[in-house]
């Protein structure tokens, strides 16, 4: 498999039908998933879907948030498209998203930030954040320490950074840069304060960067300064590679530059599987109203098509989406319009059909 760089894994002339696991998700997930599937079908994407459940929907229907049948399906297909899954805050089950990343060792999270919305605050942004997906504070190694008759007096979390994990994510970022004609990899850290954990990440990053000298430029920056610089001048960045929590925060910041999480797709990649997702939440407050913006999941499906080698189909969908947004043909409420989810999908399909007419 060539998950690491979204390289083509099939020749589009082979007329292959791809088996893909579908997790429609919770809240608005089923609505946006239906629209995305309609667009993929109209584009002629050769996919055979295997629908499964996860999150709150799975808990309510089969009694567990991540059923074995869902894991088995992804194990078989090695590719999944996933809508938003609800994670309880402060109590309840742990994130299904994190559980999937751990189970399949999806060590690389790739979040492109590309301006598509004409009214976005920052026109022309085109950067990618590569986030280590399995270590750091999000590894979930935490516990309480009892003191003075209080068993929960202290809560402690462990930031786990390994040389192995650091090496493979930084190398992934450089290989991604080479494969996509990117000029610069910026490693983001907090090694000035966290000298052991973040220091190890930076040390390994510099060692890996030396292997790509002359092919891809490299620099490193402290995370808080990076956050400021992203807002001041996002155009100075190309590929950002960082650890788990910093990647989570910076990728949401980058989404804000281009119009919000509704325009931010994500890919979780490993040697055994690849899961492509909408990165926004399940929005239970508008679930069932048919007004959600399906763009994030649609762009995630395009990343999935690239991964499957269906690059021309992905390009056609992206072009139709861009025309829809440029023309303001069908804007959902989150971007200042009144269109419903299905109407947005129909507008994209019209432009797809116009492209092939």
Distance CA 133, CA 110 (A): 9
For 299-336, give the DSSP string: HHHHHHHHHHT-HHHHHHHHHHHHHHHHHTSS--GGGT
Task: Select which of 26, 176, 190, 220 is catalytic.
Answer: 190
340: Cβ–Cβ under 8 A, 6 or more apart, which residues? Answer: 290, 291, 332
Q: List helix spans (H) across the chain.
A: 29-42, 55-62, 68-77, 96-103, 163-179, 197-211, 223-232, 244-257, 295-308, 311-327, 341-356
The alpha carbons of the chain give a radius of gyration, in whole angstroms, of: 20
Catalytic residue among 26, 238, 248, 306, which? 248
**102 counts as catalytic:** no
- Tokens (6 digits) for 39: 């667009």
Catalytic residue chosen out of the listed positions 224, 233, 326, 355 = 224
Is 82 catalytic? The answer is no
Residue 180: name the closest of 132, 216, 208 by CA. Answer: 216
* Residue showing tokens 């990647």: 247
Angstrom CA distances, 216 to 143, 176, 179, 235, 271, stand at: 41, 10, 11, 17, 24
**Of residues 76, 77, 57, 73, the one with CA closest to residue 65:** 57
**Largest Cα–Cα separation, the chain:** 76
Count CB neighbours of 179 within 10 A: 13
Out of 82, 138, 176, 238, the active site residue is: 138
Return the active site residues. 138, 190, 224, 248
């Amino acid at each position: 498999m060539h998950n690491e760089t979204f390289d083509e894994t099939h020749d589009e002339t082979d007329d292959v039908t791809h088996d893909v696991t579908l997790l429609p998700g919770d809240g608005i997930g089923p609505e946006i998933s239906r629209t995305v599937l309609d667009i993929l079908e109209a584009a002629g994407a050769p996919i055979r879907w295997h629908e499964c459940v996860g999150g709150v929907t799975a808990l309510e229907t089969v009694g567990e948030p991540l059923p074995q049948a869902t894991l088995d399906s992804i194990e078989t297909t090695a590719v999944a498209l996933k809508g938003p899954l609800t994670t309880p805050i402060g109590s309840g089950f742990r994130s299904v998203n994190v559980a999937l990343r751990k189970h399949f060792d999806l060590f690389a999270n790739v979040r492109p930030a590309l301006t598509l919305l004409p009214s976005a605050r920052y026109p022309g942004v085109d950067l990618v954040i590569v986030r280590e997906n399995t270590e750091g504070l999000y590894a979930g190694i935490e516990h309480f320490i009892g003191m003075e008759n209080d068993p929960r007096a202290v809560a402690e979390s462990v930031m786990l950074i390994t040389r192995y994990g650091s090496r493979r994510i930084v190398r992934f970022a450089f290989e991604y840069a080479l494969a996509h004609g990117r000029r610069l990899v910026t490693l983001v850290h907090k090694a000035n304060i966290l000298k052991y954990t973040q220091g190890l990440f930076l040390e390994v990053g510099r060692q890996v960067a030396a292997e790509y000298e002359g092919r891809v430029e490299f620099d490193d920056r402290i995370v808080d300064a990076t956050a400021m610089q992203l807002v001041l001048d996002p155009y100075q960045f190309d590929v950002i590679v960082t650890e788990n929590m910093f990647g989570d925060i910076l990728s949401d910041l980058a989404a804000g530059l281009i119009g919000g999480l509704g325009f931010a797709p994500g890919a979780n990649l490993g040697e055994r599987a690849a899961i492509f997702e909408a990165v926004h939440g399940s929005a239970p407050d508008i679930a069932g109203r048919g007004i959600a913006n399906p763009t994030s999941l649609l762009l995630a499906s395009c990343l999935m098509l690239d991964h499957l080698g269906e690059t021309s189909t992905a390009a056609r969908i992206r072009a139709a989406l861009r025309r829809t947004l440029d023309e303001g043909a069908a804007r959902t409420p989150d971007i200042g319009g009144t269109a419903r989810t299905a109407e947005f999908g129909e507008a994209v399909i019209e432009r797809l059909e116009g492209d092939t007419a």
